[in-house]
Amino acid sequence: MGYGHNFNNVRDSKCNPWTAVPSVCQCIAAKAHLFLRTFRGIGLWGTLNQVMKRFPLFYPLVFLVLPPKLAATLPTLLKANLTIVRDRITNRHSLKHPDYFSLLIQDNEPVPSEGFLVAQANHLIVGGFDPDTNLFTAAVHFLLTNPEKMEKLNREIRTTFASYEDIRNDALQSLPYLHAVIEETLRLHTNGAFGLPRISPGDTVDGHYIPAGVSAYSLILFVLNPRNFLSRCSSNGPHAPTLTSRQKTSGRTNPPNPLQCVVQTAAFATTHSARYFHHPRSFHPERWLPAEHAEYDPVFNADVKSAFKPFSMGPRGCVGQNMGYMQARILFAKMVYRFDWELVDRGVDWERDLRLYAIWEKPPVVVRYRVVGTAKE
């Protein structure tokens, strides 16, 4: 879907195409392996990078702690991406099926710049790699540690379809318990635990004035007398000391100072709060079922579903959320239909063993899959 090629990562992951690139498919496979290694290894540094952005004067120091191996890997990764994008442009008329780039590179339309396409490719790979594995790993753990929920999902899938080949997305969209399992997994294990940053335009939220930006003058005022400064911001609203350096020039307002006031809402904190969800730390797909469903529990009537935004919202929300739901429905349904699942290591405590840096570092979930109908060994 990303590049119009099969990654074949299981078959070709050990190839090294950097001495001589024998085929773009091998390049893709090698890039996938390289990407996984880089993406997993850069987590802690990514966290430091985000923290240091809050302290602009010290931000350059963060590059001193970038692991040398990762620093050396990034140029190779970018080179691989460029090679694949160029191949995609060259062979745009010979694809077997449409991919994401089909919307960006269209017949009878100018081809976007190479830099733009490379940037989109990076976003597509990041967006299509980690969220899917997060969702499936978490769902497997939650279902197998709550066997009665697993049984309900088994029953819905296996009584709906007569064969494996009948499992298609259009039929899956009408299965309420499958949808509820996906939603509850996304609630308990949000793909982005931290909030996506937004620059405040300057507004009052719940009685508190959120300033529009930060100027050097305002920072000095805050350091000298923070209590008085925050009091003025909160009480005077728009008449508080301006936090954005704006000057009128020829009837126009100059852009704000680049040191902006950034606001975020932590998705993990919201979805795990008893303020919004009953039994917030427990796995209850029933909360997402329609009221007329036999498995619905009215104890969840007061849940604030609007606090659940796993893909963010607005024009900067995830553009791949529909694709993500489709992939999850098909993967879950086919795995449930074909295999019986058994949790091997029951000593995992999900919340205790989970780590978050720039990305989630999930505890190992060891599962034995057995083809339906075969006897246990």
Helix, strand, or coil here: 167? coil
**Cβ within 8 Å of residue 337, ≥6 positions away:** 157, 158, 161, 164, 167, 372
> DSSP label at 287?
G
Q: What is the dihedral of CA 67, 72, 76, 79, to 10 degrees?
A: 100
Count Cβ atoms below 10 Å from residue 78 Cβ, excluding itself. Answer: 13
Output the CA–CA distances (angstroms, integers) from residue 208 to 204, 232, 233, in the order listed.
Answer: 5, 11, 8
Q: How many CB atoms lie within 10 A of CB 59?
A: 13
Residues facing 210 on adjacent strands: 203
Distances (CA, A) of 201 to 46, 134, 328: 27, 33, 36
Q: What is the CA radius of gyration of the chain?
A: 25
DSSP one-letter code for 213: -
**Distance of alpha carbon 287 from alpha carbon 301, whole angstroms:** 8
310's tokens? 């796993």
Reference 312, options 138, 147, 127; nearest CA is 127
Q: Binding site membership: which residues?
A: 318
DSSP, res 173: T
Burial bucket for residue 3 (CB in 10 Å: 0-12, 13-18, 19+): buried
Query: Annotated binding site for heme: which residue ranges?
Result: 318
Both structure tokens of 232: 């003025």
CB 339, CB 371: distance < 8 Å: yes
Strand bridging mode 198-199 / 262-263: antiparallel
The answer to whether the CB of 377 falls within 8 A of the CB of 152 is no
Angle at CA 30, nearest 5°, toward 29 and 31?
90
CB atoms within 10 A of CB 364: 11
